[in-house]
Structure 1
Amino acid sequence: MNQILFLRAQTESEPGEAPTPDEYETAASDAGYSSTCIPILSSNLVESKLAELDRILLEQPECRGIIATSKRGVEALQTCIGRIASRRVEWTCESSWKQIPVYTVGPSTARIITQCGFTPLGSDTGRAAKLAKLIISDTEKESSTTSPYIMLCGDKRRDELPSQLTNAKIPFMELIVYETGPNPVFEQELVKTYEGTDVSQPAWIVFFSPSGVDFALEPLKRQVWWQDVRIGAIGPTTSARLKQLDLKVDVESPKPTAIDLIQAIRDAVTTHTL
């Protein structure tokens, strides 16, 4: 059976709930592939920025929307809402905040936003460039307000979306709510997964972010099977980074979803494009 290595963390279950099947592993299994997830990145929320977001949320909203394109960015919002509830602070402006749209790019982040009581927009755009166009379009329809957007991002965030907003003269305030670094045991987990097991090497490796490409490449190159694997990318930004490093991208998912990714892999194999 062909094996896929997803360079990402498995889906985590909520405390006290039954284990949640990982959507990528499930999609791979349904298509006849075995798979495993190994996270490249280790990211942590920044307490000082969470405190600032707490303060912002406890006041009447002075922004026209929230932008959170990553899962960690959405988790920061979720964390702050949970902290407000746990402190039993009266959130007098909750209804006003819940009328503020939250822009994101994928279905998994949209689900978390919905659970928080907000309305997600842009989950079908699939990428930052298209999301920027949606935000610009929506902003132009509301020319009466000059309030900024709040952008919840990490220290490794890409320039694509912010630069488009800047060029369109749309104000926004960045909050770097999480910091990302390499998983310190990535190579150990990699070796443990493929040495002394029935699966000696993956047929596919799928990258999920440009920073993930940068952090994982050297440990991957040290594996004896590296030259034999096929490479997949979750979207155009990750694909572009791989190509900058002179790596052949065998498959680029048309949308950042598990089903679209696995279907793209199946199509590539079926049509002998590899």
Structure 2
Amino acid sequence: MPDDHRILCTRPLPASLIRQAATHGVHIEVHAFIRIQSVITPAAAAVISKLASQPATVIFTSSNAVTAVSELLQTQSDRGTQWQLYCLQGATLDTVWQYFDGQQVIATTAYSKELAYQLLNDKPEGPLLFFCGDQRRDELPDTLAAGGLALQEYQVYQTVATPVALPTAYQGVLFFSPSAVTSYFSMNALPPSAVCFAIGHTTAGALLPYTSADRIIVCKRPGTNEMIQTVIEYFDHNNNY
């Protein structure tokens, strides 16, 4: 039987993944360290609703942005069916597939800068819409601006920190965003023998002020399923941990 490992996840997880990890002796406790809330004003909602009935190229780098826009449009007959979509892989793409026709997805990449380069290469015609949150990173808009592509940016959600002090000495902590990193470490220190699991290199970079690089495990491919598999594989190969 594998040794038991207690792991903290800083965002909600599907129960099926928690059960899957438990069969490998990895027991995951969930405490959400951020909360997402829509900030679409009535005026912005009217603009987005109008845009949804027109051809446009739409960029999503967050599953939260996809959800915010899609929930706004769910009562409309035209829900952005004429949009061409560029988005990040992992949770963002998974959420796009929930709300949009998969054939609308023109390109998907692991990181924002790669997505910007793809857009610069494709040079899509018509409006270029970027739906994002209040803590969106600069790589994509800056790269597009440097390449001569103008964005129409719409902030559709904001991230609210929900930190809590946890006394448990976890052996690993899962992070899916830089904002969750900041929230967690505002009230906690990493247990001495714990490792951090990061969904990607951006989140891993946010961890460096708090721990050393050799205690950060980066998921090879962004995605919730892939993250849990990374955790399972790590502890399967480090059973004396």
TM-score in same-fold range (> 0.5): yes
State the TM-score bracket (shorter-chain normalisation): 0.7 to 0.9
State how far apart, in whole Å, the 1-side matches of 2:105 and 2:194 are: 37
Deviations 1:161-212 (A, max 9, x none): 11111111111111111111211xx315x34xx4xxxxxx321111111121
Corresponding position: 1:207 with 2:175: yes
Corresponding position: 1:134 with 2:99: no
Q: CA deviation at 1:271?
A: 7.3
The one-letter code matched in structure 2 to 1:238 is T
State how far apart, in whole Å, the 2-side matches of 1:30 and 1:149 are: 46
The one-letter code matched in structure 1 to 2:164 is E
Q: CA deviation at 1:39?
A: 1.0
Q: CA deviation at 1:220?
A: 1.5
SS at match of 2:115: helix
SS at match of 1:47: coil
Q: CA deviation at 1:62?
A: 5.6
**TM-score normalised by L of structure 1:** 0.74
| CA RMSD between the two structures | 2.7
1:47 matched residue in structure 2: 40
2:140 matched residue in structure 1: 161
2:219 matched residue in structure 1: 253
Distance 1:239 1:120, change over 3 A: same
Instruction: Considering fraction of residues, name the structure with more helix.
Output: 1
Corresponding position: 1:117 with 2:100: yes
* Unmatched segments (≥5 aa) in structure 1: 12-20, 86-90, 195-200
1:150 matched residue in structure 2: 129
Deviations 1:187-241 (A, max 9, x none): 15x34xx4xxxxxx321111111121112113112xxx72221111110001111
Distance 1:172 1:8, change over 3 A: same
Aligned positions, number: 232
Corresponding position: 1:240 with 2:224: no
> Is this contact kept in 2: 1:54–1:80, CA < 8 A?
no
SS at match of 2:110: coil
> Is this contact kept in 1: 2:7–2:173, CA < 8 A?
yes
Q: CA deviation at 1:149?
A: 1.3
The one-letter code matched in structure 2 to 1:202 is Y
> Is this contact kept in 1: 2:55–2:82, CA < 8 A?
no
The one-letter code matched in structure 1 to 2:82 is Q
SS at match of 2:186: helix
**TM-score normalised by L of structure 2:** 0.83
Distance 1:30 1:212, change over 3 A: same
State how far apart, in whole Å, the 1-side matches of 2:186 and 2:97 are: 38
Alignment of 1:48-127 (within 5 A): 48=41, 51-59=43-51, 60-61=53-54, 63=56, 65-82=57-74, 84-85=75-76, 91=77, 94=78, 97-118=80-101, 119-123=104-108, 125-127=109-111
Aligned-residue sequence identity (percent) comes to 22
Instruction: Considering fraction of residues, name the structure with more strand.
Output: 2
Distance 1:26 1:236, change over 3 A: farther
State how far apart, in whole Å, the 1-side matches of 2:160 and 2:19 are: 27
